[in-house]
Structure 1
Amino acid sequence: MDRFIFLTFDGLSRGAVYAAFALSLVLIWRAARIVNFAQGAMAVATAYAGYSVATATGSYWLGFAVALVGGLLLGAGVERVVMRFVDHSSPLNGVVVALGLVLVIQAVLGMIYGNEFRPAGAPFSRDAFVVGGVALLSRFDLWVFAAVIAVVALLVLLFTRTAVGLRMRAAAFAPDVSRLLGVNVGGMLTLGWALAAAVGSLAGMLVIPTELGLHPNAMDIVFVSAFTAAVVGGLDSAIGAVVGGVIVGLLLSYVSGYLGATVAPIAVLVLLLVVLLGRPGGLFGSVKARAA
């Protein structure tokens, strides 16, 4: 029983991290109707910038702020310089460009920082609280939960209670009609990419301290798990991303704990396949919205 409790809390802490990254995928999908496969590489790039500033100044929180601002600027720059000129007549075009962008970003990071793992500190202790001889959550896990809840609340407010959120969704679903109604479609797309990249940067700063450290490919495996979480919850739902993240986190924890770590990636891929075949809209997604 103690082992089950430990694996459950470990899965919740993993799930919160995956949920944070899944939120960035949901945001870019809702804003631009595209799955940004370069999101992980972009998050790593801003994390390198953040930790470089933190190392130079001795202030983690200054580096944290630099990473978030860097995400905003990088997301806006990618949309303005790259994605705006992609032919969107086929969804595959954007996917191919995003995959190419991954290779470029990872190559540049490798040339600048090298391919060795660099230590990445956390703002709070990662030592878990022990209750009744069972390790539960750490202070860092609680920080991750608080950050994810705050992002979910802000995204829900943005898309349901603000005119900007409505314009962003309208620009994504019906750009021609939105232009006739006076919506700055280009500006809304840029804003969507910027916000999604900022959330991705936040996720990177939350994920990387739990991994081996900074590396150009640090987010590759995380991206697969987070993408599965977003699909499970529904690419149109911020709350679904959180639920999907928890499901994936628990699945990985239980499979790793009882069957072995080598089986865990296979379990994630099986879950993704089952969801795509059985409920492609996700648990909280709308099939009509996904097909738009």
Structure 2
Amino acid sequence: MGDNVTFWERLVIGHPVCSDWKQEVEGSIYHLASVFFVLGCMGGSGYFGLLYVYIFFAISFLCTSLWAWMDVCAADVFSWNFILLLICIVQIIHLAYQLRTVTFDKEFQDVYSAVFKPLGISLTIFRKIISYCNAEVVTLERDHCYAVQGKTPIDKLSLLVSGRIRVTVDGEFLHYIFPLQFLDSPEWDSLKPSEEGLFQVTLTAETKCRYVTWRRKKLYLLFAKHRFLARLFSLLISSDIADKLYALNEKVFVDSGFRFDIRLPNYYHRALPDQEPSTTPMIRIQISP
């Protein structure tokens, strides 16, 4: 215990007081290293923030290593700073690999910029969504069907990039699907991962269309590994279904001239008499007495 007290006393109050400070400065390299170290401490979070931090730390440790080699001539100071420099270089290489430029088709770039980037999804995560699920861009010619009612199996999820799709059931028009909307979000939401089913509507291209498609089973495997991607797609699909329901609601009329609200099945109100007749096909519902 006495040795410990002696040590701490020597450390706190027993050391010699600096009565004569060194007059000459350490040199510009040492001060430059300190400046770069301070700049490195100002980095943010995320991949780009870490890349910023390690780049400035690497420059700082490089300058300190040069200072220890040329001015101080201290092997231990040089060795430690050189080791820290190597660690920073390894981290920079790793981060640069994570942020390397990823080349996508134009359709993938459009989907990322319009849908995933605003939600804060990085290119690294988007690359997993594309590559792991073998996503592909498919062209659908005019008047060709993406799905046929009662015949086409529900085995994929597709997002329209360009063109317009007409949705019909038993030959009756339901609604259109426009770019950046899912082609089969209701079908996706209606089935569990282990279930199989057939389309209950027909989807026909009114113009030449391009869409991005993922295989259903591949997506479920990806969701099992990355739960936040499952929540992300659930949010996107739910929002897409809601948009389709609202679009469908605007086209629903009954024979008596009342507008039927599909959100409130027991409530409907009369359409305004001065409304101009719409050229958009309407769904007419016959209310039984």
TM over 0.5: no
> What range describes the TM-score normalised by the shorter chain of this pair?
under 0.3
TM-score of the two chains, using structure 1 as the length reference = 0.22
Q: Whose RCO is larger (CA < 8 A, sep 6+)? A: 1
Name the structure with the higher helix share.
1
Name the structure with the higher strand share.
2
- The structure with the larger Rg is 2
